Amino acid sequence: MTSRKTVRRMLWGGALSAAVAIAGLFPGQTTYAGTATTIAVDTASNAGAVNPFAWAVGAPDKRTWWAGNATLQTRIGDAKIKLVRVNPIQILTYNGRDPYPSSNTWNFAGMDAILNTIFDAGAEPLFVLAGFPAGVAHTRDANGAITSADWTEYAKFMKEVVKRYNTDLALGSGKKVRYWELWNEPFVEEDGKFRNNGAYKTFAQTVGNAMKLQDASIKLIGAVHSNWDDGAAGTDAQAGNGLLSYAAKNLESQIDLISWHNYGPSPVSVTDADRMTYTKKNYQDDVASVKAGGPGNVFKSPSGKLYGAALTEYNISHQPGGTAYDLKYHNEFGAVYLASAIVNAMKGGADIFANYNLAETGGNLLGLLNNTDYSPYKPYYTYQLFGNRMGSQKLAATKTGTDDNLEFVSSKDPATGKTYLIVVNKNTSTGAGATHDLTVQLQNAASSSGTVNVWKLDASTNPTASTTLTYSGGNFAYSVGPMSVVAFEVVPGSGGGTTPLFSNGFESADAPPTWLDTLDGSQNVTGYTAGTNPECSPRQEQPRTGIATLMFSGTDNSATVSYAKCKIFAVNIPITASTKLGYWLYPQTDNARYAAIDFVTTDGTTLRDSGLLDYDGHGVHPNGGHGGAIPLNAWTPIKINIGTAPGLVGKTIDRILVNYDRPASTGQYRGYIDDLVITNGTLP
């Protein structure tokens, strides 16, 4: 997103085509005696909440128009990416869709499309404001430095942007923009360089104050420095020496998170092993330093305020390094580097940690995805591992030995009882001891035996399928080879079948829905009232238990074809012969009897088309209406033995839906669902 990258494109000239095979840099593995290593995971501990913004990414760059691309949305959703850094202003102006072509003239269609693409993929945007729409008068010199700018006009423009999405809720109540970053690399950005720290302060105060005046709840991020600095004299040769500490001292009323960028070492005169040692200092220690106030309190405000830490661009380097080196960006080296970076950012407590980027024009050096068809490069699968093999609660874990090449993070999903462990072996050698013969000890486990699903990412394997092993006595063993990332999903034994695989009562203590009021497909169905869309989100109304339920509603407009499938949860639940589904349904209208919980597996198989009957002998497809006679304004239990369907056993549930389907009727429907559970034991 800076002029550095423009220079890089010119130097590289697209030498690495999308057709180049992404082969491993390492010779075929030879078997050596591995290093014996033990990781002990306290499954009963609570080391704080897992922050999914630790595997955030940047959107495709500003030189392409990608809004509405279904494949890109699928990639974001499949990796469970929850934050996408994006600069709509630059994308729109570079693609002939200026959002503010003149003073008091707004054109929001393109911006709506960009933000909806991110929201509808299950993520939220980090909105970067950098560059100038035509409606903001400004001048720049031959080097791109800003010589004048009407920041008051810029503030008016941005205040209206905040008003549209956060006050007027133009995209819907679940689509507010919470995070906003004030410019990009202020002394490098090709669409406007600031001359000094003071000039950046004027911009941040003028524009930031206007935005917060419109919505005080937003989080503003700055100073978006192009590199790390701790304010020490001489540490930054660019204009703006000590910009991060300057922002901390001068912008405490505007900025909530301090942000910077830190790409890995230059490709020149640095070994692969040195590159891998870079991640701890730069992505864990520096993050922790900002959050703690920094050496000598350089990152603490005059009133004592401490800031969040947002490292919003990183990758293995920002420039090419020749044919052999450049393969690293798209092969297992880049994948392992990014995994190590994420582990260290999580341990440092990063509030936001965003890779650059999903896809890039030109040579596509830094993209996780191909820039023509959005097919994945190997580092994309790092994000799939973290997005899909991570619980919501961090666990305390320790390892034996002092080999810093082995890094890990452990977590738990309290709703399912599953424990997760992601292990990174960033050893660049293939010699003796490079492999870790790992023993995992599950301390305080609810069950001393069970199964472990294993996903591996290395030169020859992508984690698109798992292998399974068992554990007993709370232990299991696995050899983790060099240049690999391995994710373990520990599924405890049933112990009588009381531990659910998934449960949710839509209470504040439960995991929130992945999507709110979001369709996964519909035909001839509109909102319950005029001007709205079909709804499906929690309400504090008519609870069966607790104080909340899931409300669903809409209007059926056709007596021949009508359905609305609303997504609620993204999950990863394997189906066995013992798997069962239960929930409670409260229809308020006759049409609401024709709503049902549905799911889609990773290969597209659905519950509704399985041919199953529920415990009462009614078909599970919503168009059966659960027999058509369940009572209105009352709770009815729905129970399904999904493990009896041969076409479902062995598959994995990917997302859970509420599906309305009644072809032969019209009119409104509204009702509630509560106490959803999936289990291999006995349904409550």
> What is the residue-wise DSSP string for 432-486?
TT-SEEEEEEEET-S-S-EEEEEEEESSS--TTS-EEEEEBTTEEEEEE-SSEEE
CA 356 to chain centre: 14
Please state the CATH superfamily assignment of the domain spanning residues 35-43+393-492 in this structure: Golgi alpha-mannosidase II (2.60.40.1180)
Residues pairing with 421 in the sheet: 410, 488
Q: Are 311 and 258 in contact (CB under 8 A)?
A: no
H or E segment to which residue 637 belongs = strand 636-640
Q: What is the pLDDT of residue 11?
A: 32
Residue 242 and residue 197: Cα distance in Å, rounded? 9
Residue 160 and residue 264: Cα distance in Å, rounded? 38
Which two structure tokens, joined as six digits, stand for 671?
Answer: 């009702």
Angle at CA 611, nearest 5°, toward 465 and 661? 100
Residue 478 and residue 678: Cα distance in Å, rounded? 29
> What one-character-per-residue DSSP string does 335-400 give?
HHHHHHHHHHHHHHT-SEEEES-S--STT--S-SB-TTT-PBPHHHHHHHHHHHS--SEE--EEES
> Could you tell me which of 332, 339, 368, 364 has the C-alpha nearest to residue 353?
339
H or E segment to which residue 638 belongs = strand 636-640
pTM above 0.95, yes or no: no
Q: What is the pLDDT of residue 241?
A: 63
Domain 51-389: which CATH number of 3.40.190.10, 3.20.20.80, 3.30.420.40, 2.40.160.40? 3.20.20.80
With respect to CATH, is domain 502-679 assigned 2.60.120.260?
Answer: yes
pLDDT digit string, tens, across residues 165-195:
999 999 998 899 999 999 999 999 999 999 9
How far is CA 22 from each of CA 217, 269, 379, 415, rounded to the nearest angstrom? 45, 23, 11, 39
Domain positions in the chain are 35-43+393-492, 51-389, 502-679
Look up residue 641 and give its DSSP letter. -
> What is the DSSP pairing of strand 549-556 with strand 535-539?
antiparallel
Q: Which residues of the chain have pLDDT under 70?
A: 1-33, 232-241, 494-499
Q: What is the pLDDT of residue 232?
A: 59
Q: What is the pLDDT of residue 495?
A: 45
Q: Are domains 35-43+393-492 and 51-389 of this chain identical in fold?
A: no
> Could you tell me which of 78, 73, 38 has the C-alpha nearest to residue 389?
78
Q: What is the pLDDT of residue 417?
A: 83
Residue 382 and residue 332: Cα distance in Å, rounded? 9
Q: What is the pLDDT of residue 445?
A: 85
Within the chain, what is the greatest distance between any pair of CA atoms?
78
> Could you tell me which of 357, 393, 488 has the C-alpha nearest to residue 76?
357
Q: What is the pLDDT of residue 578?
A: 86
**Cβ neighbourhood burial of 252 (10 Å; 0-12, 13-18, 19+):** middle
Which two structure tokens, joined as six digits, stand for 473?
Answer: 């006595």
What amino acid occupies position 269? S
> What one-character-per-residue DSSP string does 4-26 give?
HHHHHHHHHTT-S-TTS----SS
